Structure 1
Amino acid sequence: MTIPFEETGHAVQAEPRRLLSESLRAATSDAHDRAEGATFVDDLMSGRLDAGGYRRMASQLYFVYRALESVGDTLSGDTVAGPLVDERLRRLPRLAADLAMLGVDPATLTPLPGVSAYVDAIEATRDDPPRFVAHHYTRYLGDLSGGQVIRSRMKLHYGLTEAALSFYTFDEIGKLKRYKDSYRDTLDGLPLDDEQIVSLIDEAVAAFGHNERLFAELAG
């Protein structure tokens, strides 16, 4: 990332580098809005589908989190990715339990083409911690934020119980806002150079693109 400079009299001073969390939010804003505004998401959240719509989405997310948490285990001791890898965020066991409640055996599932591409993108970060952080950020911060709205809407519209929505329950974290603030502070303090920051941000934008494709395939 090129740090902009401006002339002040005869001196040339560097502007303070924007916090990574702020840069990520700004850079992914449009991609986030496109994914959030997808037809499938709008129909699901508005109650125009049925519990099967949520079941299909959760089934596909199983592959995403299996890859994400496998790579996270590999990078848990890394100086860049490690500070964000937190056992309290682990979702796969809860997702498997939810699917069982919904009558789904993960062993019988097949990933959609877009999900296979998403999984490949995550697996490709096993040797690239900054890019892994991008996927970690987009998924878990989403679960801690918009995921809570999904949880309440699935209960309201489709009568799903807490036992089928434990994926969105973070018992061990406490206050979610406090945790999210701490997460962003950790993100801002990661030892990244400018090139790594650009790579991380680009990967985060791409991650939202993978989610957009997932929702398009679910709608189809």
Structure 2
Amino acid sequence: MTLLAVDLRESTKTLHAEAGRSKFMKHFFKGAISLEMYGRYLVALYHIYNALEKALDDHKTNSALALIYFPDQLSRKLSLEKDLEYYNGLKWREMVQEPPSPAQQNYVSRIQECSSSDMPERLVAHSYVRYLGDLSGGQILCKRLQKFHKLPENEGIALYQFEKIQDYDLYKEMFRKQLNQMTLTDAQNEAVLEEAKQTFLLNMAMFSEFDHELDGDLLTSAEQLEELESLEKEKKALAAVAATANGAPVVKSGILASMMPSRWWRSLTGSVGLKVDA
């Protein structure tokens, strides 16, 4: 029996790692992305989520998509609007009305093409990459924003806050189980896997549009490992603080568990994020 969640993870591992080594992500991890640039990046995400959530709503009765259609828990459009105003002020409404960049338009067009095609099941891949990414690696990106830019508590991070989800790890596990319950033909299954690969490529193309504003190159393998070690230290420190506050032993659950390094590159992208933990 084919397990779609497993196939999605395995088929995108290489591209997932490549996205994690991108120049944009390198600067994000090191706090070298300005808040002004991040505000513009949110505009790009707004175009993507606006297209995706409309497509998912249009196909909410599709037998496959219905299994992962959770707008109350997952939809990011309203959360993005909060962050867009925080970083861009009232001009955000004008910014999202401007024509998308070429990479953003390609991403939006791909989602729209999936929605209008005779195989809308491909939207499963887009939902998988974006939402599981936000619930996984997106949580680390959130911590990076707070750490390097000293954001006020709970300000500017609405994208990564899922108020109607109590335990992110349990929710992701439920989502993966829903994926595995889908009854797809062989052709549909292969199309979803291919679409997931294309989604990573679309994300990387979107990242690359910011590259001319950034210094340096891709992360090397050694730098990637160094980042993982640093993130592991941060995770332990956060877990210790949480355990002390609660008067309980440190446990690997909730958001902190999603920050475990063994999952890091599987969960990165897109969040921002990109970040998928499958």
Q: TM-score scaled by structure 1? A: 0.89
Q: Which deviates more, 85-94 or 109-118? A: 109-118
Which residue matches 1:116? 105
Which residue matches 2:35? 51
Q: Aligned partner of 1:125: which letter? A: C
Query: What is the alpha-carbon distance in structure 2 between the residues aligned to residue 170 and residue 48 of structure 1?
Result: 26
Which residue matches 1:99? 84
Q: Aligned partner of 2:155: which letter? A: A
Q: Deviations over 1:32-84 (max 9, x none)?
A: 11112110111012112321232121111010000000101101111111110
8 Å Cα contact 2:43-2:95 kept in structure 1 = no
8 Å Cα contact 1:80-1:129 kept in structure 2 = no
- 1:159 deviates by 2.1
Query: What is the alpha-carbon distance in structure 1 between the residues aligned to residue 207 and residue 49 of structure 2?
Result: 16
Structure 1: give runs of 5+ residues left out of the alignment: 1-16
Instruction: Classify the secondary structure of the residue corresponding to 1:170.
Output: coil
Q: Aligned partner of 2:106: which letter? A: A
Query: What is the alpha-carbon distance in structure 2 between the residues aligned to residue 45 and residue 138 of structure 1?
Result: 20
Q: Aligned partner of 2:123: which letter? A: F
Query: What is the alpha-carbon distance in structure 1 between the residues aligned to residue 93 and residue 17 of structure 2?
Result: 30
Q: Aligned partner of 1:52: which letter? A: E
Which residue matches 2:51? 67
Q: Deviations over 1:64-118 (max 9, x none)?
A: 0000001011011111111101021010011011101112413323322101000
Q: Deviations over 1:151-204 (max 9, x none)?
A: 110010112342211110011011000000000000000110111000000000
Instruction: Give the one of 10, 17, 35 matched to 2:19.
Output: 35
Which residue matches 2:249? none
Determine if the alignment matches structure 1 residue 138 to structure 2 residue 129.
yes
Structure 2: give runs of 5+ residues left out of the alignment: 213-278
Query: What is the alpha-carbon distance in structure 1 between the residues aligned to residue 26 and residue 174 of structure 2?
Result: 30
Which residue matches 1:90? 75
Q: Which deviates more, 61-70 or 32-41? A: 32-41
Q: Aligned partner of 2:31: which letter? A: G
- 1:120 deviates by 0.2
Which residue matches 1:20? 4
Determine if the alignment matches structure 1 residue 193 to structure 2 residue 189.
no
Which residue matches 1:77? 61
Q: TM-score scaled by structure 2? A: 0.71
Q: Which deviates more, 53-62 or 176-185? A: 53-62
Query: What is the alpha-carbon distance in structure 2 between the residues aligned to residue 117 and residue 155 of structure 1?
Result: 31
Percent of aligned positions that are identical: 31
8 Å Cα contact 1:51-1:160 kept in structure 2 = no
